[in-house]
Amino acid sequence: MPELPDIVIYLEALDSRILGQTLEHVTLGSPFLLRTVDPPISSLSGKTVVELRRLGKRICIGFEKELWLVLHLMIAGRLHWKATSVEKATKRRPSKLPNKRNLATFEFSNGTLTLTEAGTQRRASLHLVEGAEGLRRLDPGGLEIFESDLAQFTAVLQSANHTLKRALTDPRMFSGIGNAYSDEILWHAQLSPVALTQKLTSDQIQRLFNSTRAMLTEWVELLRADAHGEFPEKVTAFRPEMAVHGKYQESCPRCGSKVRRIRYASNETNYCPGCQTQGKLLADRALSRLLRSDWPRTPDELEGLTAS
């Protein structure tokens, strides 16, 4: 699932391509994509993009008349851009979505933005809302890590006694962090994914705060460099530069221990026992009971949480 670093890079790419451009036509290829009916999607035709912003893991495209198109890519949704030459612009017809993976196309005056989703499950969503109140209803309310200090971070982290993995990925607690980058953050901070938030020391909280900022910053910079100014087409949760996420049975780059994983329902956590759990493997009955009460069973369940 695209998380904060991926969404930031998407927004930078969109900013240089569609900000100030006019949306000429929207074609929907799935009846399950659009989750709102008022205002109608047709009301966007002829409107100009005036603002772009991130809302947790959502991409928000602001148009004239305070209309906001809000995209949540979920696990398999991805965006693609194809610029339109001056010659073709005068002859272009609305896209017919020939590919079954194409959920929607947004045809602008200078090119086409396509939303695709791999697989058969249609989890990606599209909302069209009006004004600040419309956006607020979609906001999970999580703390923005780069707009907060240690005291605010601590207050949110210890507002409930969750495992660290659950706390970091709960969109009502922290904004934009999901499965992949939470693994990397916890590895960097050398903290167990199942440590309980209300039992952390002040030193451990400080390390977690610093690591959260450091990892998100590092990955934004890495993804930006990888894109080279082009539209990002290789958005994935599994990257060779990652230390533990997706690296089950591979060697930890810090201590050399084999990376292990916890699997529960639809969730998976990767960690280094040498760096994070004092050599203990997290695979006993007590852990299963803890996860059953603390982790949602599916990514959809977690992403469905809102502030209200």
> Which has more pLDDT, 118 or 88?
118
Residues 6+ apart with CB under 8 A from 31: none
What single DSSP character describes residue 137?
H
Number of continuous H segments (helices) and E segments (strands) in the chain: 10, 10
User: Going edge to edge, which strands form the sheet with 125-130?
Assistant: 77-83, 111-117, 102-108, 22-28, 47-55, 58-63, 67-72, 125-130
pTM above 0.85, yes or no: yes
Average of per-residue pLDDT values in the chain? 90
What is the b/e burial string over 148-186, where b = at least 16 CB atoms within 10 angstroms of the residue's CB? beeeebbebbbeeebbbbbbbbbbbbbbbbbbbbbbbbb
- CA 83 centroid distance within chain: 25
Q: Can you state the angle between helices 202-227 and 4-18, rounded to 10 degrees?
A: 40
Strand 58-63 relative to strand 77-83, pairing: unpaired
SS3 percent helix, strand, coil of the chain, rounded to 5, is 35, 25, 40
Map out the domains of the chain as residue ranges. Answer: 4-138, 145-303
**Distance (Å, whole) CA 153 – CA 279:** 28
Torsion of CA 37, 41, 42, 46, to 10 degrees: 150
State the architecture of 4-138 in CATH terms.
Alpha-Beta Barrel (3.20)
User: What's residue 130's pLDDT?
Assistant: 97
What single DSSP character describes residue 259?
P
The residue whose two tokens read 């000429």 is 24
Residues 6+ apart with CB under 8 A from 72: 57, 58, 59, 124, 125, 126, 127, 303
Residue 100 has pLDDT above 90, yes or no: no
Q: In whole angstroms, how far apart are CA 228 and each of 112, 232, 238, 240, 306?
A: 20, 9, 19, 18, 35
> Which has more pLDDT, 288 or 74?
74
CATH classification number, 145-303, choose in 1.10.8.50, 3.40.50.1000, 3.10.20.740, 3.40.50.300: 1.10.8.50
**What is the per-residue pLDDT across 9-55, written as a single tens digit (0 to 9) for each?**
999 999 999 999 999 999 999 888 999 999 999 999 999 999 999 99
Instruction: Categorize the per-residue pLDDT at 94 as very low, low, confident or very high, splitting at 50, 70 and 90.
Output: low
My answer on whether omega of the bond before 39 falls inside 30° of 0, hence cis, is: yes
Residue 79 has pLDDT above 90, yes or no: yes
**What is the per-residue pLDDT across 112-132, written as a single tens digit (0 to 9) for each?**
999 999 877 788 999 999 999
